[in-house]
C-alpha cells in the first residue's frame, strides 16, 4: 500500500494557507447575486475583490478531506453585506465544518425547500453544516471575515440553484443594525 504523507500547515494572520490553490472572486464574478442592481453597477466601476479562497484539495474520493480558508472582505452592495456565492454540495448529503478565525459575520443556510437558518459567527465559532443544506457566509463587520472550512473530498460544489433563485433571506444593514429580511425575488 502506498500511503499519502501527513503534513501540517500554518494559516497566517491574513488567512492565507501557504502553498494552497488560490481563488479570487471579484464583484464582476457575481453578476445577478446581489439584490440592488443599480448599486451593483455603480460599485462595478471599482470591481472590488469580494473574497479569496485558499484550498488544499485531494482527489475526489470517498473518505478523504479537503480544507480551505476564505477571506471575505467587508463591504456592501446597496444595503446588502458582501457574501460568498453559496452552494449545495454536488453530493448533496455531504456535511461540512466551518471554524471562524477573524472578523465578524455569519452563515445563511437553506434547505432545498427554502427553509432558512442564520448562524452568527465570531472568532472561535464552529458551525456544523448538515447534509443537504446550502450555505453562504456573510461579512457583517468592517474588517475581513476569515474562516476555515473542512469538507469531504468528494463533496463538490453545486452553484446552479442558488445562482438562479438566491436565498429566501437577504442580510442587510438597516439603521446601523444587521437584519435578515425577505428576499422579494425569492419564489
Ligand atoms: O463551503 C466551502 C467548501 O465546501 C467553502 O470552502 C466555500 O467554497 C468558500 O467559502 C467559498 O464560497 P463559495 O463561493 O464556494 O460559495
Ligand atoms: Fe461547502
Whether residue 155 has its Cβ less than 6 Å from ligand 1: yes
**What CATH number has the domain bearing residue 126?**
2.60.120.10
Residue 12 lies in a domain: no
Centre of ligand 1 to C-alpha 132, Å, is 15
Residue 11 lies in a domain: no
DSSP string computed for 89-151: -SSTT--EEEEEEES-EEEEEE-TT--EEEEEE-TT-EEEE-TT-EEEEEE-SSS-EEEEEEE
Residue 26 CB: number of other CB atoms within 10 A?
14
Residue 8 lies in a domain: no
pLDDT level of residue 187 (50, 70, 90 thresholds): confident
| pLDDT one-digit tens code per residue, 85-115 | 999 999 999 999 999 999 999 999 999 999 9
Residue 158 lies in a domain: yes
Pick the residue whose CA is nearest to atom 1 on ligand 1: 149
Contact status, residue 147 vs residue 99, Cβ threshold 8 Å:
yes
* Domain containing residue 81: 21-182
Domain count within the chain: 1
Q: Is the pTM of this model over 0.80?
A: yes
Q: Which atom of ligand 1 is closest in space to residue 129's alpha carbon? A: 1
Residue 133 lies in a domain: yes
Q: Which atom of ligand 1 is closest in space to residue 151's alpha carbon? A: 4
Pick the residue whose CA is nearest to atom 9 on ligand 1: 70
Quick one: average pLDDT of 153-171?
97
Centre of ligand 1 to C-alpha 104, Å, is 17
Amino acid at each position: 500500500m502506498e500511503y499519502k504523507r501527513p503534513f501540517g500547515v500554518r494559516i497566517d494572520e491574513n488567512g492565507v494557507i501557504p502553498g494552497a490553490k488560490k481563488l479570487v472572486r471579484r464583484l464582476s464574478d457575481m453578476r445577478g447575486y446581489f439584490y440592488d442592481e443599480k448599486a451593483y453597477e455603480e460599485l462595478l466601476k471599482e470591481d472590488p475583490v469580494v473574497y479569496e479562497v485558499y484550498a488544499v484539495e485531494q482527489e475526489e474520493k470517498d473518505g478523504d478531506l479537503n480544507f480551505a480558508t476564505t477571506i471575505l472582505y467587508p463591504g456592501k452592495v446597496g444595503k446588502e453585506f458582501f457574501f460568498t456565492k453559496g452552494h449545495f454540495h454536488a453530493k448533496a448529503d455531504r456535511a461540512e465544518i466551518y471554524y471562524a478565525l477573524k472578523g465578524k459575520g455569519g452563515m445563511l443556510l437553506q434547505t432545498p425547500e427554502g427553509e432558512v437558518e442564520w448562524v452568527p459567527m465570531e472568532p472561535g465559532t464552529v458551525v456544523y453544516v448538515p447534509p443537504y443544506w446550502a450555505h453562504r457566509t456573510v461579512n457583517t463587520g468592517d474588517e475581513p471575515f476569515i474562516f476555515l472550512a473542512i469538507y469531504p473530498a468528494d463533496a463538490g460544489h453545486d452553484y446552479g440553484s442558488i445562482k438562479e433563485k438566491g436565498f429566501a433571506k437577504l442580510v442587510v444593514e438597516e439603521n446601523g443594525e444587521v437584519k435578515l429580511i425577505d428576499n422579494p425575488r425569492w419564489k
